[in-house]
Amino acid sequence: MKAKILSSEYISKHQYFNARKDSYTLPSGKTVDPYFVVELPLSAAAMAITEDNKVILVEQYRHPIGEKLLELPGGFIDENESADIAIRRELMEETGYEFENVTHLGITAANPGVLNNFTHLFLATGGRKVSDQQLDSNEEIEIVLKSLEEVRSLLLESKIKQSMHALCLFYGFAKLDKLT
């Protein structure tokens, strides 16, 4: 059963996100006022594996936490774009690789206490380098190729700090383990 929205007011509108202040009543009758929500587009990320079994990681600076992180390639899904088309586009833009197979692993909500979006998680295999990166003007992304064993170790040692990407890797390894 959903809450009843009493009021909703945008406090910021931006090309990458919107922020709003809501007031609502829970099914129990309790009123919550104010409650802040950040609206983001759907996104996608992939455990991307080359045809010679290297995992493609991307390293980039993340200003909100002031660190460079090792992450999976991915990004926002455009309006009216399917998740599987979006991840293929993002993989090409960020890495220059195209993939024989792309399998949907699941969907996750990064922080549903504040964020309203979901991220689609994928396993992409059979990657071949076919072009240079095609990055947005605000991106500086270094491609890092690692063996499956190295990535599994990074994951188990909590060196993959982006939570959705860590989850994608766990799902990806589980899928790969079932195939072998």
CA–CA separation, 121 vs 169, rounded Å? 9
CA–CA separation, 130 vs 35, rounded Å? 46
CA–CA separation, 84 vs 128, rounded Å? 18
CA–CA separation, 133 vs 48, rounded Å? 15
Quote the distance between the C-alpha of residue 115 and its chain's center.
Answer: 13
Predicted confidence at residue 150, as pLDDT, reads 98
Given a cut of 80, whether residue 26 has pLDDT beyond it is yes
pLDDT average, residue stretch 151-161: 96
Predicted confidence at residue 9, as pLDDT, reads 96
pLDDT average, residue stretch 129-136: 91
Predicted confidence at residue 179, as pLDDT, reads 81
What ranges do the domains of the chain cover?
A: 4-39, 43-179
The answer to whether residues 44 and 110 touch, using CB atoms and an 8 Å cutoff, is no
One CATH from 3.40.1310.30, 3.90.79.10, 3.20.20.140, 3.40.50.150 for 43-179 = 3.90.79.10
Given a cut of 80, whether residue 149 has pLDDT beyond it is yes
Cross-strand pairs, 38: 19, 115
Give per-residue pLDDT as tens, 35-57: 999 999 999 999 999 999 999 99
Predicted confidence at residue 88, as pLDDT, reads 98
Lookup: tokens for 30:
């309790």
The better pLDDT of the pair 43, 180 is held by 43
Average pLDDT, the chain: 95
Distances (CA, A) of 119 to 86, 122, 145, 153, 179: 11, 10, 23, 24, 24
Predicted confidence at residue 89, as pLDDT, reads 97
Give per-residue pLDDT as tens, 73-105: 999 999 999 999 999 999 999 999 999 999 999
